[in-house]
Amino acid sequence: MGEQLYSGELPIMAMRGMVVFPGQAVHFDVGRAKSVKAMEQAMNGDRHIFLIPQKDIMTDDPDMEDFYSIGTVVKISQVLRPQDGAVRVLVKGICRGRIRQLIRREPYLFGEIAGIPESETIDTPRNHALCREAIAAYGAYLDVSEFPGQNVMLRIMTSSDPSAIADAIAQNSGMDFMDKAALLCNLDPVRRLEKTLRLLSREIQMHRISEDIQSRTHANIDQHQREYFLREKMKVIREELGEEDEDSEFSEYEKKIRLLSLDEESENKLCKDLSRLKKQPFGSAEASVLRNYLDVVLDLPWHKRTKERVSVEAASKVLEKDHYGMEKVKERILETIAVRQMAPQMPPQIICLVGPPGVGKTSIAYSIARALNRKLARISLGGVRDEADIRGHRKTYVGAMPGRIMTAMTQAGTKNPLLLLDEIDKMAMDYRGDPSAALLEVLDAEQNKTYRDHFVEIPFDLSEVMFITTANTLDTVSRPLLDRMEVIELESYTDEEKLMIARNHLIPKQISKHGLKKAQLKISDDGIREIIGCYTRESGVRNLERCFADICRKVDRKLLSDEVVNKVTIKEDDVAEYLGVRKFLPDRMSGTDQIGLVTGLAWTAVGGETLEVEVNVMDGSGKLELTGNLGDVMKESAHAALSYIRANAQQLGIPTDFYKTKDIHVHFPAGAVPKDGPSAGVTVTTAMVSALTNTPVRRDVAMTGEISIRGRVLPIGGLKEKTMAALRHGVTTVIIPEDNRRDLEEIDQTVRKALHFVTASTVDTVLDTALKRSEVAEEPILSDLSGAVKSGRQPALIRQ
């Protein structure tokens, strides 16, 4: 327990940032005038004074509301007055107390003080254990801290009073002022000791963390000092041996920067970064970043060029050797090279090669680079969705690197390479930016003279670079980017072109790649046609080449088997032995002319296809049913066709009330394949008229064209691919829109000679050509398939 209880009128001294506990001897300096006068008044009396902590240490003249509720009655033991004017006081706490009444505030605080007696504590095992734990924790605290509390430790070890132990530990530890004030105000000895133990545990943990941080800091400092002394020794040793040191490295950097002969702004930027590098300690992170930056910039081909071979004749030979067909594409590329030959100062044109997969877009770019004697660097843009991939990252980021353009220039090693930007239509955008927007500066001849990569930071001239981009479609290419490029379209190969490419390029290439000799494998033309027609269905020749690779592997195994085989010849009937069963059945024309069955023509990403349209008419209430996985545009075409037929029913020989009494079902076979587009309009119209009038449709006729509700036939696209599909299907007559007559010049000569083309501006021409009006059936319109069978005619609905 504490000393005797003390109450009465006493001088009051406000304590800033300090708490005095009962039973504890404390010395402190007194500086405020009021505090000095209160102390002098106490010295003139019985030396008792009331010390109370104030809440805000910045308050110079505190009042009652600025104090904590509990203070300490102390007795002044000693007063020292050094020559510096300060007053140092030694006091000893007597008991806790509170201000009952503040009597006066001037010239010092004076009031009536009520002493607070200590609560009685019961001597229990728990209290004993708590005291032991607190003493042990204080011992641990003294071990990790530099606090001189050994005497306090000896004193509390002989005590079993929770109040005295808590006050002694709180007074002689580095707890925060507010925590000490809270302990002073806690009047329950056991709870006060529990809180003291929690705070002491926190102090121990904080000291250990601080000690760990300091040890790490000292270790780092010692390591840097050790490295510094070692570097100095190495420097002296190198000087003695006449070897180079870091200064020679910096001199090499400076020499390379001067040799680049850059503009003043760029050279000053590099020299500034070199100066920063010289100031960095060896092995620092900043030094690594600067070294990497200077190495990247100095590796760029600022002035190195290859001698360009601008010759139309040489380029023509290279293109003819590497690629068969594609006359229009070759002609357009040779025109570009001719312009370069006539006007060398003109910036290279930016070409965009567009076409289906496998038609040779990338290989043409390689051929152009070889023809012009330019280094080629390929940049794949498929899946790129970060603008920083094009323009690079700021070098302040960890792991920063230049963009793909600058990286490709470094790989090419020349200032005038051919950069192939492959799959430009496969770029995407997200929250990190739009890479297609970053390409706008790259592909603009007016801006790319001073192209700035985020990592390189200084302008680089891209005006001498020849850019070629490739894409499968232009639908996903941004308009501003497309505006900067000249588009050259590569169309699908015809079967005859594929035959020649296979014979002259693909088969010799695979024979050589698989270690065969030319005499060991021969594939007949009929065998090649069988592979083209029944094992591949594509615009290009990529899958066709895989088929030849598959054959070569099997021939390798056959030649190495126990069988005595020196040569393998593959004819049409032998293909299945090497490639398995047919993957695609050849298109076959219907055996007879059908009612309500018309052959249309469609364009797909892998070339042209024939598309049959089936129409069935039944008794009903005038419903129109459309099936076959159709898109909105194709459904609208069917409704437009029906609208035209209703408006012209009398001229077409159809009952005018058919839309009330008949249901029409239009079906496009291969329902798993999505279909859309307006070019099946005339096909649907012809099939409906045929079914409604019981008029057969010529099986040797195929058609394509969009229809308006007034019966006009509108132009379509993809005519070359569609006519090739018609030829494969075996038709002899193709109906096309009148406005597509000009496109016949683009069609392969083999196709033009084999087919008869009919141009139509109205539906009347289409119906006159396709319908066999002289063979109109006498029976009424078909109501169901059983009626068709009974009448002896073919059913209108062909089941797949």
- Known catalytic residues are 679, 722
Contact of 314 with 431, CB cutoff 8 Å: no
Q: Where are the alpha helices (DSSP H) in 186-299?
A: 189-241, 246-260, 264-279, 285-299
Separation between Cα atoms, residue 480 and residue 440, nearest integer Å: 7
Q: How far is CA 437 from the centre of its chain?
A: 15
Contact of 518 with 479, CB cutoff 8 Å: no
**Strand 607-619 with 597-604, pairing:** antiparallel
Ramachandran quadrant class, 726 (left: phi over 0; alpha: psi -120 to 50; beta: rest):
alpha
CB atoms within 10 A of CB 682: 31
Separation between Cα atoms, residue 235 and residue 215, nearest integer Å: 30
Partnered with residue 471 across adjacent β-strands are 354
Q: Which amino acid is at 101?
A: Q
Separation between Cα atoms, residue 481 and residue 444, nearest integer Å: 9
Separation between Cα atoms, residue 308 and residue 323, nearest integer Å: 22
Q: Sign (positive/negative) of CA torsion 397, 400, 402, 404?
A: negative
Contact of 701 with 769, CB cutoff 8 Å: yes
HSE-CB of 502 using CA atoms within 13 angstroms: 29
Separation between Cα atoms, residue 764 and residue 14, nearest integer Å: 112
- Burial class of residue 99, CB neighbours in 10 A (0-12, 13-18, 19+): buried
- Which residue, chain included where needed, has tokens 């069963």? 581
- Which residue, chain included where needed, has tokens 């109906």? 735
- Which residue, chain included where needed, has tokens 């000092």? 225
Partnered with residue 460 across adjacent β-strands are 451
- Which residue, chain included where needed, has tokens 């801290």? 145
Determine the 3-state secondary structure of 602 from DSSP: strand
Tokens representing residue 596 in the block:
């309500």
HSE-CB of 670 using CA atoms within 13 angstroms: 8
- Burial class of residue 368, CB neighbours in 10 A (0-12, 13-18, 19+): buried
Tokens representing residue 212 in the block:
């760990």
**Orientation angle between helical segments 542-560 and 525-534, nearest 10 degrees:** 120
Give the CA angle between residues 165, 168, 169 to the nearest 5°.
Answer: 85
**Strand 713-714 with 706-707, pairing:** antiparallel
Contact of 782 with 595, CB cutoff 8 Å: yes
CB atoms within 10 A of CB 82: 9
Contact of 308 with 287, CB cutoff 8 Å: no
DSSP 505-562: IIHHHHHHHTT--GGGEEE-HHHHHHHHHHT---SSSHHHHHHHHHHHHHHHHHHHSS
Separation between Cα atoms, residue 540 and residue 325, nearest integer Å: 12
Contact of 21 with 128, CB cutoff 8 Å: no
Tokens representing residue 765 in the block:
């021409």
CA-closest candidate to residue 771, choices 713, 705, 691, 717 = 691
Contact of 409 with 456, CB cutoff 8 Å: no
